[in-house]
Amino acid sequence: MSQAELYNFLIGKNDSTLSTLDSTNVDTIGLAAGQTFITKPHGTDPVLTHRSHYKSIDPYLLLLIGLSAVSLVLVKHFMPRRFFQLLGTYTANRWLNQLLREWNPSKSMPGPAVVLSYIFLLALMLGLVLSKNHQLANPQIGIILNIASVVFLFTLVRQSVSKFISLIFRNHVLNIQLRTIEFSHYLIASLTMIPSIIGLLLYPNETGFYISLILVSIVFIFSFIRTFFYSLGAAPFSVFYLFLYLCALEIVPFLLLLKTISLVLTGEILIFDTSV
């Protein structure tokens, strides 16, 4: 078999072994993500191929999705009033006022349970989307746990900075209201990300990718708009000041989060080592 025929055979069959390559003069470089660079004949540019990217799904990822979904179902079953108050707060101020008269999501259940589910689901969603964007294999559970740690630290820092700013400008009440709206976003985003993540895992084509990404993007964009207009109506801020405030707490940190997760996926940053 000639070198050109061997190259076409490898590309067409997406071979997952290196035994055939080792017996030829074709240069290969094994990647940690389960990828191989195959050098074309006549010294042309290398082509990135994928070895069994979507042939199997890590069962621990499905378990993580299931646990997150079960936790939200339990919240709805045992605390239906608070569950629907959080849902209503996402769009209506009357639900927000009623909720704050009865409980504070940041200090009582089901707030912490919703945040925990949101952190793991967001880690899964960002891991799958960025892996697709960087042409990497689907991340395994160890990488997802590292990403979840980054998301947790990101959320903790945002809450701390927001609390610090509220103390400086003495707008503690507004901060509580905005954080409650954010908790409602955590719930809505979690409910949206569950089918989106399942779609990314089961239908890893361009259509499934864009549909899942559009659904989640709509939720996040609406949350930003909701926060912007509520803050504008609740406090005498100028539009320019409010825009800078939201950029500092929403847009810029989220971009930094995406960059950090990209480094985690490529192995340049790891919170803890999960390799065996």
Predicted local distance difference test score (pLDDT) of residue 111: 92
Predicted local distance difference test score (pLDDT) of residue 29: 40
First to last CA, the chain: 39
pLDDT-wise least confident of 69-78, 120-129, 145-154, 202-211 = 202-211
114 pLDDT more than 90: yes
Q: Is the CB of residue 227 less than 8 Å from the CB of residue 193?
A: no
158 pLDDT more than 50: yes
**Which comes out higher in pLDDT, residue 177 or 3?**
177
11 pLDDT more than 60: no
Neighbours of 27 (CB within 10 A): 10
208 pLDDT more than 90: no
**Which comes out higher in pLDDT, residue 69 or 57?**
69
pLDDT-wise least confident of 22-36, 54-68, 130-144 = 22-36
**Which amino acid, 146?**
N
Q: Is the CB of residue 6 less than 8 Å from the CB of residue 28?
A: no
- What is the pLDDT confidence band of residue 166, given thresholds at 50, 70 and 90? confident
Predicted local distance difference test score (pLDDT) of residue 269: 77
Mean per-residue pLDDT, 128-157: 89
Mean per-residue pLDDT, 32-38: 43
Predicted local distance difference test score (pLDDT) of residue 3: 52
**Which amino acid, 6?**
L
Mean per-residue pLDDT, 249-272: 83
Mean per-residue pLDDT, 78-89: 94
In whole angstroms, give the CA distance from residue 227 to residue 129.
25
Predicted local distance difference test score (pLDDT) of residue 238: 66
Predicted local distance difference test score (pLDDT) of residue 37: 42
Percent of the chain with pLDDT over 90: 33
25 pLDDT more than 60: no
- Residues in CB range of 208: below 8 A, 6 or more apart: 199, 200, 202
Predicted local distance difference test score (pLDDT) of residue 81: 95
Angle, helices 172-202/93-102, rounded to nearest 10 degrees:
110
Q: Is the CB of residue 71 less than 8 Å from the CB of residue 79?
A: no
- What is the pLDDT confidence band of residue 1, given thresholds at 50, 70 and 90? low
Q: Is the CB of residue 206 less than 8 Å from the CB of residue 199?
A: no
Mean per-residue pLDDT, 256-260: 89
- What is the pLDDT confidence band of residue 30, given thresholds at 50, 70 and 90? very low
**Which one, of 153, 158, 159, 162, lies nearest residue 260 by Cα?**
153
- What is the pLDDT confidence band of residue 173, given thresholds at 50, 70 and 90? confident
**Which comes out higher in pLDDT, residue 274 or 29?**
274
